Amino acid sequence: MTTLVLTNARVVDPSRDLDARGTIIIKDGIIAAAGPEAANQGIPEGAEVVDCEGLVATPGLVDSHVFVGEPGLEHTETIESASHAAAAGGITSFIMMPDTNPPIDDIALLEFVLKTARDNAVVNIYPAAALTKGLKGTEMTELGLLKEEGAVAFTNCQHPIADNRVLRRAMTYARSFDSVVSLEPRDPYLSAGDMNEGLFASWLGLAGIPREAEIIPLERDLRLATLTGVRYHAAKISVPQSTEAIRVARERGANVSSGISINHLTLNEHDIGEYRTFFKLSPPLRAEEDRLAMVEALKNGLIDIIVSSHDPQDVDTKRLPFSEAENGAIGLETMLSAALRLHHSGEVPLMRLIDALSTRPAKLFGLEAGTLKAGARADVTLIDLEEPWIVGPETIRSRSKNTTFEDARFSGRAVATYVGGKCVYQRSL
């Protein structure tokens, strides 16, 4: 039996509402004890001991919205490279989106992802499967077979489903398998622009995307979720009217949740500056008043989780005129540090941040993660809340470098990441 002991840490575990100085004892990759009570048990004989003085120990972070290029676009990101980027960001588990080439819409492709992850990844990777074949929105996939094979959710990614009958049928089938349907609310016509609609877009001469491009399809989704009783997740929302729609749907009895990209919590439309395409995202960066409202909604729990929305793009798709560039930015390595800005500013308590980054996404998607309870798999992130660092190409492990935080100065980062008790990333202790 191998034993690892992390001592003198500030243990923050939202699953137990625990924030206290203590110890974590890990035996054969499983949490034996974590918290003040573990410190009183002493050090088991022969254990490896790591002094975590000055560090915060949390359940390993969980990112539920990650795009990976493999299969088909391995030059942007592979499952292996994404796993190393995740580990460097303190992420021990992530859900991989099916928007690959070809899309993950059948058993063979799902098995490929699972096997490749087992063979090459250093973190836990859970595949989501396509809700419709080819992500075309016209015919639903074999939901039951895909779930049985290991799909943890169903999504159509950034591809809207226009046919309400198809979506209703898919939601009904997903409900019968107790599966989550996760959709990005986006009207393909109203969102045919470049950035948030407003005065700044007019100054830059760019086509605007109104808030209604998100609100209208979201309200449609919420109505169908209420009708079918499915577990519905709004994957990425960006405006306060969306949180209000979700609140009303919950009052109607709908089983709905929501997520937000870390970009929309820490950046706004003015960060685009002079046509900086790394800031071209979907949904677009919104106004500062929208950002502040979304931070408040996160703090109050109306927004459930934070995602990186990691979307690797290479120079051929980003180093273009703004209107021609693709949407998307990488984020696995910067999600935690960017979120800590909200902690340092006093806008969101640390416990709530870790809940949104770990415990709640694990619970929403039924993952074996998000807790330091005795008997749980020992996925642990050690965080230095104060360590300063600057984001640069040399610090990025992703194959793509399209980060919205290029040259950003951060305070706080993951310094060690453990998956099943094994250290898969270590900076300094």
Per-residue pLDDT tens over the stretch 351-363 = 999 999 999 999 9
Residue 429 confidence (pLDDT): 54
pLDDT in tens, 85-97: 999 999 999 999 9
Residue 312 has pLDDT above 80, yes or no: yes
Give the pLDDT confidence of 280-295 residue by residue, as tens digits: 999 999 999 999 999 9
- CA atoms within 13 Å, Cβ hemisphere of 247: 11
Q: What is the mean pLDDT of residues 150-167?
A: 97
Tell me the mean pLDDT in the region 19-33: 97
- Does 225 score more than 70 pLDDT? yes
Residue 411 has pLDDT above 80, yes or no: yes
Q: How much is the mean pLDDT over the chain?
A: 97
Tens of pLDDT, residues 315-343: 899 999 999 999 999 999 999 999 999 99
Whether residue 14 is predicted with pLDDT greater than 60 in this model: the reply is yes
- pLDDT at residue 41 in the model: 86
CA distance 366 to 233: 13
What are the residues facing 389 on neighbouring strands? 410
Tell me the percentage of the chain whose pLDDT exceeds 70: 99
How confident is the model at residue 247, as a pLDDT? 97
- Looking at residue 40, its pLDDT comes to 86
This model's pTM is above 0.95: yes
What's the average model confidence in pLDDT over 182-211?
97
What pLDDT, on a 0 to 100 scale, did the predictor assign at position 368?
97
Mean pLDDT to the nearest integer, 364-381: 98
pLDDT at position 107 over 80: yes
**Residues with Cβ < 8 Å from 344, sequence gap 6 or more?**
385, 411, 412
Q: For position 428, what pLDDT does the model report? A: 64
Structure confidence at residue 154 (pLDDT): 98
Question: What pLDDT score does 39 carry?
Answer: 86
- pLDDT, position 42: 84
Q: For residue range 159-196, list pLDDT tens digits in order.
A: 999 999 999 999 999 999 999 999 999 999 999 999 99
For residues 194-214, average pLDDT = 97
Per-residue pLDDT band at 414 (split at 50, 70, 90):
very high
pLDDT of residue 311: 98
Would you place residue 255 in the very low, low, confident or very high pLDDT band (cuts 50, 70, 90)? very high
Domains of the chain: 60-365 (3.20.20.140)
Q: What is the pLDDT of residue 409?
A: 97
pLDDT at 277: 97
Percent of the chain with pLDDT over 90: 97
